[in-house]
Every structure is written in C-alpha cells, then in structure tokens.
A and B are shown apart, each in its own frame.
Chain A
C-alpha cells in the first residue's frame, strides 16, 4: 500500500499521482487503474494514466437527487454522450469523462453548501452554550 498526504503528516508527502507515475513506469504489466475519490484526484489520475496508455476506471459520485435515474442531476459527458452516473455508471472509462465540465457542475451549490455549513456551526455553538 502506498499512502500519500498533502502535508506529509502520514505516509509520503505529495499527491496520489506521484507514486502512481513511478509504479506505471516500473511495472509495464499493470493492466488497469481504478481511481475513487475527489474529482480533482480522479482527473489527475486519468491524465497520468493516459500517457501510459493504461485502462482506467473512475467511480463518479456526482450530485444526485434520487440516485435512481429520475432527476438527471448527475449527468456527465462521457465520450461526448450524456450519461447518468446513477444508472449508466457510476463506473466509467476515465479517459472518456469530460472532467472540466464535471468539475464546474460539481460547484453549482458551493454558495448553498457554505451557508448550510455556517448554519450548522452556528447551531452547534448555540447548543454548546445551552441556548437551544
């Protein structure tokens, strides 16, 4: 197992793609890479493996309402086609996913996420102070 952390507090300091690049260079027999995690990591992984020509699968967890094909909120462009991550995925060929569009789509509730978090913290403070 190769562990990396951004600040080096555990394992190796750096990004996932650092050991990945080394491994791909060293082991020419690696047939497939699977990436599951934050979009930016999956995008970086896809960009890394593309140059090595290694098949890569990403598991997308896009914003969904119902998660069973009804809302279409989770749609993502894969190989130029509109796909629903919930019923057509969630696993897709990483080299076909339009990550640039997807990363913008994942930011569509940033403002609301922030206000929700603030409200949560505010209520926590009130609870701690015994006010609610």
Chain B
C-alpha cells in the first residue's frame, strides 16, 4: 500500500480574462485549466470509496473515475467515462451549478475547497474537441423503431443521444433555424461559446440523428400526427422553458421594455450586435435595469454592459444572499462593474410621448418572515418610493409554460401551471408512448437536470419499445 496521501485543501485556480477588458467583449471569461493545472487539481481528489459527488450529480457521472483518469494523464479514458453519462462535457463543465451539486458534497469541501469537478469536466470536454474526437463518433446501425424528439435543448439532446446509441431511428424537430435550444439562444458566448455547443451537437449528427429545423410541433405537425400518419413509435417532448413572465405593473407596453429571452435571443442567437451586417437589430439603452437576480438576469445585465450601457443595473426585491444566480456569476458581474439595487422592487415604468421608457419608479423592501419557498419574504417599506433614471428595462423573472404543444395534443395532462405531468419512474405522460422532460415538466431548472430527465425518458422509451 502506498503512503496515505497528503490532503491539499487549496483548489488550483483557473485563469480568467481581465474584468475591465472582458466587459467590452464577448470572449469567454474563464480560460479553464491547462494540462498541468488539471493534473494538479485531479490529484487532490481522495477517490472516496463511497463517492458523495456522484450522488450529487443529476446524471450520476462516475466522477472519481474520470478525475482519476486525468490524474494519470489518460484523457481519452476520462472522456469516455464522461461520455457514458453525459454527451456534452464541454457544455456542462461550463454551465452546471457544481457548487450545489457534485462539489457541494465533496469531502474536501468540509475543511477546504471541494475538488473543482466542473473545471475538470470542461478540461476533458475541451481536450476532446481539440483532438477532434467528435469526428470519430460512428453511426449506430438503426433498428426498426422510430422516435421523434420535440425540441433540441439539453433534455432533447440527452434523450436523442441515448436512443441513437441504442439503435433507435431518431428525428429531432426544432422550431428555430438552428439546434441547441437555450444553450444557443439563452446562454451568452462569454459563458458558453456557441461553437462549443455546435461541436457537441455534431456528435448526434455523427450518430445518425436527423434534425428537422424550422418546424414548430403543434403548428406544422401535432403530436398525434407524429404518432399516427408519420409512423413514430414514441415521442419525447423537450420544448423547454416557456413564455417569459413580466411584472404586471403599469408601463410594460413601453418601448425599451424586453424580456431577457428577447434580449438574449437577439444578441446570442441572431448576433444583433453585428447589425446592420445582420438583419436582426437590438436597441440597447444607456441606463439599463435588469429585474431579477438569477443566472439569466446576470447574463442579460452583463450582455447590456458589453453592448455599451453606461449603467447596467440589477434590481432585485431580496438581497444578494437570496439571489438565485450562481455565486461565480454574481462575482463576475460585480467585477465587471454591474450596479446592484438590492431590496428594490419596480412599481411603475414611465415613458415619454413617443412611448419610450424614461424612468422607473421603485419601492424599497425589507425582509420579513420566510415564505413557503423558505426564503424570507420581501415586504414593501411604505413611503420609500423613488425614481430611477433608466431607458431600458429587461425582465428576467423566469418563465411560464409554453401552451403550444399542450393545446394541440388532446389527452395530454398538464398541472395547474401548464407543465406536463409525467411518471416519476420513466417520464411518460398521460398518453402512452409520449414522454416529456426538462423545463416543460419541472418549470425553469438547470441544463443538467434537464439532461437527467432526458436520459431517464430515453430509458423509459427503450423499455416501452421493448429494446
């Protein structure tokens, strides 16, 4: 037996782009590990006999396995261990909230820094991309079973991957002109470059998955069409986050008032910052208030800053402590000069004679006793109203369910919020052969939990098809 190894409580840091420089560009903030750094960091892992990190992972990646492979310098092995559970390591390594999942349960975290599982995962994903391993993915011989997948975001990708690997003939129907869903339209390039998503998606192409773009299911075809005349044996619905929520306060019809979905889609997917060299414009204010404090709010406010806003502000009715964004994203935003208005709630948006926003009236809040979500409920402080000088307001308040699929699928059971009801066991809906997963089932959640649901549904579909 070898000597008991010395525990290193300090995490190997990753290099990041200078905050001042990056606030003016869309290049990635975090550079990730190089090989030497990755090896050092992987060497910190205790390789626990009963690894808690794996339990914390929604797709149960064999974390000690891939970390051990890195520490031995066998990146190929590490990549294959990751791919067994997660088709997109370069994506998840970047956007998973590891600090509340695998890393939160890491034993090292009790005394010092948890192993940087996310950054190690990204290292392997990026290494595989650089090596061109995607090209080596071989198509799997297709059997007689056909499955249609509605949507091409994280849940759909995970589901399609597992099905295709099992020899199912998979067709993905995507409403937009490009695949990837929220990974493309939602998450900005400075956090997740679109080309990383494209390369990861290429694996599905290579596996033989067919993509039908520009096809809104519920409009061009319905779920009954897919199961009926189009001959699919099963369907997976992964249509994702739905329609954006607004505040319901006066002035939301004014120009300069956008949902984060609209703002981010214009910029990330349609590259409106290149206008007029692209067709989609975006009008960015000089004083931008983003309402909300989740990851999407941070993405929106940091995007506004990068597009030249002089004051890019977060307005949130609770405090920094309750903000749902990842700590890393909050820190990055602070470093970049984002201004924060905590304990502040908008009450009214004021416009000029042409219908453009000129200011926003807010009220100060204080925290009362916890509500049903366990977070302390914000309560208005009477008479504390004040007016903020703004010319753009972006609502990043989450989404409600998109009604298109449910409206056009008789017999599909949804809950009172319009989200699709599925079986705990296999993600099957009220209609036999129709499965669902991701945000259209749970409401807004994470990339990786959607992928977990997609994988569970794939297993359910395979069983349903007798494969």
B276 touches A119 (CB 8 A): yes
Inter-chain contacts of A90 with B (CB < 8 A): none
Contact A72 B261 (CB under 8 A): yes
Across the interface, do A87 and B402 meet the contact criterion of CB distance under 8 Å? yes
A85 to B223, CA, bound (A): 23
Chain B residues within 8 Å of A76, by CB: 253
> Complex: how many Å from CA A84 to CA B219?
16
Stretch at the interface among A5-13, A25-33, A37-45, A61-69: A61-69
Which of these binds chain B: A14-22, A51-59, A109-117? Answer: A109-117
Residue from A72, A75, A84, A115 with most neighbouring chain B CB atoms (10 Å): A72
Contact assessment for A73 and B262 in the assembled complex, using a CB-CB cutoff below 8 Å: yes
Q: List 16 A-B contacts (CB under 8 A).
A: A65-B265, A69-B242, A69-B243, A70-B265, A70-B402, A71-B244, A71-B259, A71-B262, A75-B246, A77-B253, A84-B243, A101-B253, A105-B255, A107-B355, A112-B281, A112-B283
| Chain B residues, Cβ within 8 Å of A73 | 258-259, 262
Find out whether the CB atom of A68 lies under 8 angstroms from the CB atom of B261: no
How far does the alpha carbon of A76 sit from the alpha carbon of B280 in the complex, in Å? Answer: 21
- Which of A71, A82, A112 counts the most B-chain CB atoms under 10 A from its CB? A71
**In the complex, A72→B253 CA distance in Å?**
11
Given contacts A68-B175, A69-B403, 6 further A-B contacts (CB under 8 A): A65-B262, A69-B243, A70-B402, A82-B248, A105-B355, A108-B356
Is there contact, CB below 8 Å, between A75 and B283? no
Q: Which residues of B contact A116 (CB under 8 A)?
A: 275-276, 279, 281
User: Known contacts being A101-B253, A104-B354, A105-B253, is A65 close to B402, with CB within 8 Å?
Assistant: no
Does A69 contact B404, Cβ atoms closer than 8 Å? Answer: yes
Verify if B266 is at the interface (C-beta below 8 Å from A): yes
Determine whether the beta carbon of A66 is less than 8 Å from that of B265. Answer: yes
CA of A75 to CA of B262 in the docked complex: distance in angstroms? 11
Sort A-B residue pairs by CB-CB distance and give the 9 closest, nearest first.
A104-B355, A112-B281, A71-B262, A72-B259, A108-B255, A72-B244, A69-B243, A101-B253, A73-B262
Kindly provide the distance from the CB of B28 to the nearest chain A CB, expressed in whole angstroms.
25
Q: Determine the chain A residues whose CB is within 8 A of the CB of B242 once the complex forms.
A: 69-70
Determine how close the nearest CB of chain A comes to the CB of B250; give it in whole angstroms: 11
Please provide the chain B residues from 260 to 303 with a CB less than 8 Å away from any CB of chain A in the complex.
Answer: 261-262, 265-266, 270, 275-276, 279-281, 283
Chain B residue contacts of A91, Cβ below 8 A:
none
A93 contacts the other chain (CB 8 A): no
The interface residues of chain A lying within 8 Å CB-to-CB of B216 are 67-68
User: Would you call A112 and B275 a contact (CB within 8 A)?
Assistant: yes
A82/B252 in contact, CB under 8 A = yes
Interface residues of A (CB under 8 A from B): 65-73, 75-77, 82, 84, 87, 98, 101, 104-105, 107-109, 112-113, 115-116, 119
User: In the bound complex, do residue B276 and residue A115 qualify as a contact, i.e. CB atoms below 8 Å apart?
Assistant: yes
**CB-based contact A98/B262 at 8 Å:** no
User: What separation, in Å, do the CA atoms of A46 and B297 have in the docked complex?
Assistant: 39
A62 to B284, CA, bound (A): 20
Q: Which chain B positions have C-beta within 8 A of A72?
A: 243-244, 246, 258-259, 261-262
A40 to B: closest C-beta gap in Å: 16
Min CB distance B311 to A, Å, is 21
B243 — which chain A residues lie within 8 A by C-beta? 69-70, 72, 84, 87
Cα distance, A76 to B253, chains bound together (Å)? 7
Complex contact A65–B270 (CB within 8 A):
yes
Q: Does B176 contact A (CB under 8 A)?
A: yes
Known A-B contacts A77-B253, A82-B252; A70 and B283 likewise in contact (beta carbons under 8 Å)? no
Instruction: List, in ascending order, chain B residues with CB within 8 A of A67's CB.
Output: 216
A66/B355 contact (C-beta < 8 A), A77-B253, A104-B255 known: no
Chain B min CB distance to A60 (Å):
14
Give chain A residues whose Cβ lies under 8 Å from the Cβ of B256: 108
| In contact, B259 and A112 (Cβ under 8 angstroms) | no
Q: How far is the CB of A75 from chain B (nearest CB, A)?
A: 7
Which positions 178-204 of chain B face chain A at CB distance < 8 Å? 185
Kindly list chain A residues whose C-beta atoms are within 8 Å of the C-beta of B244: 70-72
CB-defined contacts of B266 to chain A, threshold 8 Å:
65
* Closest A residue, CB atoms, query B253: A101
A104 to B356: give the CA distance in the assembly, Å: 9
Q: When the two chains form the complex, which single residue of A87, A101, A107 contacts B404, counting CB atoms closer than 8 Å?
A: A87
Q: A71 and B265 in contact (CB under 8 A), knowing A109-B283, A112-B275, A112-B281?
A: yes
Q: Given the complex, which residues of A lie within 8 Å of B185, measured CB to CB?
A: 66, 70
Contacts of B252 in A (CB 8 A): 82
* Pair A68/B281 contact, Cβ less than 8 Å: no
Q: Which B residues from 206 to 248 make CB contacts under 8 A with A? A: 216, 219, 241-244, 246, 248
For A68, list chain B residues within 8 Å (CB).
175, 216, 219, 402, 404
Chain B residues within 8 Å of A84, by CB: 243
Q: Of residues A82, A84, A116, which shows the largest number of chain B Cβ atoms within 10 Å of its Cβ?
A: A116
